[in-house]
């Protein structure tokens, strides 16, 4: 069949394509690299014609015109599953609302609860068989696409073709309209310069990683630091099963450490849901049969995660209290990031035979007034959101050490957490623990 003919029949300008959006519609914007800038700009120009159009997206680092053009939010109302740095600023400006959601539930939410009138997102150019590839963030797209009444694809020649399950591609027969236009190269997320705290935290985690372990790295600078240290170590035959594929995995591959040979689930394949890094990472992803993109409801399933023997999960957080509760998404009432898949991997890693979960943070931070504050707090009171309940907490790591909270009582947790707090705050935390009734007189200070 000549799919090029069907393609041409569905080809429109961005301005023509967005005419299908009506008052009151729910629109899905693809996540991160799948965000459609040409369609977004064209839709923003229709602001005064439309009312009550609502949007869902997540991790979008680009300017979102439909949010920026309507400060009253009477015409366009944007919401996100997980804040990028840019979306965080939109929230603070009152131009974005946050949707709490554990990532493994994303597709079920769309299947059973949420409406999508129009899904619009970027994809690779169509191949000769009529398929487009959804590339680096396909893992978050399958559910919304299946639910969408209408689908518009924006072709972006810069996107790598990522191999994987059926959710990685969409056929021209399932697409309503296609648009073309010029795009900048994919946005890069280069490896950040490591801090001395990052270096120390990585050193505390490294001894717990063994040959043949499967690794999950979260967002942030720590994974790249740890990846570099593992690359220089004697470890071998490591695997990848992760929500987010970052530069750290490419470092491990180039050093010969990432072979995926000893994985229990999809051996020989590095498995991921999303990807973000520098251009070298995108080049590595392109048509790489050793890597596999998988939908988030699968790659983040605790049962699937646990199917990998010795899965090591490494993520970051905002703070931890002395009870072992973990806040990874807010500072008080201020939304910073999102729920994401951290709870998925904390749960799955501990279920994995020999697996471990590490939640890492610097021991202190500076507030807006420049005052140094401890990230280990006595207890939460100011609206902080609990991302991981204390009953699921495993290893907590700062630059002062790594402690395991699994199965530990309240006084044991307090003692262990205070031991890795910044020394300037330990006495104060001991006093608070006494007031809370979780401190033994025999505890070490």
| Neighbouring residues of 18: CB distance < 8 A, sequence distance ≥ 6 | 39, 42, 43, 46, 120, 152
Q: Interhelix angle for 410-419 vs 423-436, to 10°?
A: 170
For every residue of 2-61, DSSP letters joined together read -HHHHHHHHEE-HHHHGGG--TT-EEEEPPGGG--HHHHHHHHTTGGG--SEEEEE-S--
User: Measured at the alpha carbon of residue 133, what is the angle toward residues 81 and 182, in degrees to the nearest 5?
Assistant: 85
Q: Phi, psi (5° rounding) for residue 379?
A: -160, 160
- For tokens 């700009």, the residue is 41
Q: Please answer whether residues 231 and 225 qualify as being in contact, where contact means their C-beta atoms are separated by less than 8 angstroms.
A: no
Number of alpha carbons in the 13 Å side-chain half-sphere of residue 109? 16
Active site residue 180: no
Measured over the CA atoms of residue 276, residue 101, residue 331 and residue 65, the dihedral's sign is positive
- Catalytic residue of the set 87, 243, 310, 415: 243
The catalytic residues are: 243
């Amino acid at each position: 069949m000549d799919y090029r003919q069907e393609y041409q029949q569905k080809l429109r300008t961005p301005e023509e394509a967005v005419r299908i959006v009506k008052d009151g519609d729910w629109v899905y914007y693809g996540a991160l690299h799948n965000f459609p800038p040409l369609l977004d700009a064209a839709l923003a120009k229709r602001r005064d014609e439309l009312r009550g159009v609502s949007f869902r997206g997540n991790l979008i680092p680009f300017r979102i015109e439909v949010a920026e053009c309507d400060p009253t939010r009477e015409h366009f109302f944007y919401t996100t599953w997980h804040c990028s740095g840019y979306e965080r600023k939109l929230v603070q400006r009152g131009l974005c609302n946050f949707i709490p959601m554990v990532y493994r539930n994303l597709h079920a939410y769309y299947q059973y609860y949420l409406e999508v009138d129009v899904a619009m997102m970027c994809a690779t150019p169509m191949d000769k068989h009529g398929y487009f590839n959804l590339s680096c963030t396909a893992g978050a797209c399958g559910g919304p696409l299946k639910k969408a009444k209408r689908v518009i694809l924006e072709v972006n020649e810069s996107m790598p073709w990522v191999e994987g399950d059926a959710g990685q591609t969409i056929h021209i027969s399932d697409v309503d309209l296609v648009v073309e236009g010029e795009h900048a190269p994919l946005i890069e997320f280069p490896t950040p310069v490591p801090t001395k705290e990052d270096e120390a935290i990585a050193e505390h985690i490294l001894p717990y990683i063994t040959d043949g372990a499967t690794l999950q790295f979260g967002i942030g600078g720590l994974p790249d630091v740890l990846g570099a240290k593992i690359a220089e170590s004697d470890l071998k035959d490591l695997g990848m099963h992760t929500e987010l594929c970052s530069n750290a995995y490419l470092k491990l591959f180039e050093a010969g450490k990432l072979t995926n040979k000893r994985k229990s689930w999809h051996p020989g394949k590095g498995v991921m849901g999303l990807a973000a890094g520098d251009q070298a990472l995108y080049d590595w992803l392109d048509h790489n049969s050793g890597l596999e993109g998988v939908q988030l409801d699968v790659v983040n399933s605790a049962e699937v995660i646990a199917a990998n023997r010795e899965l090591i999960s490494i993520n970051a957080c905002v703070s931890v209290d002395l009870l072992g509760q973990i806040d990874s998404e807010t500072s008080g009432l201020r939304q910073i990031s999102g729920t994401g898949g951290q709870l998925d991997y904390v749960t799955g890693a501990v279920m994995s035979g020999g697996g471990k979960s590490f939640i890492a943070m610097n021991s202190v931070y500076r507030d807006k007034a420049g005052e140094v504050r401890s990230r280990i707090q006595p207890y939460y009171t100011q609206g902080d959101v609990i991302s991981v309940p204390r009953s699921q907490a495993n290893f907590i790591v700062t630059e002062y050490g790594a402690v395991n909270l699994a199965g530990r009582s309240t006084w044991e947790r307090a003692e262990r957490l205070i031991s890795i707090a910044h020394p300037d705050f330990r006495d104060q935390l001991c006093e608070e623990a006494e007031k809370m009734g979780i401190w033994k007189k025999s505890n070490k200070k």
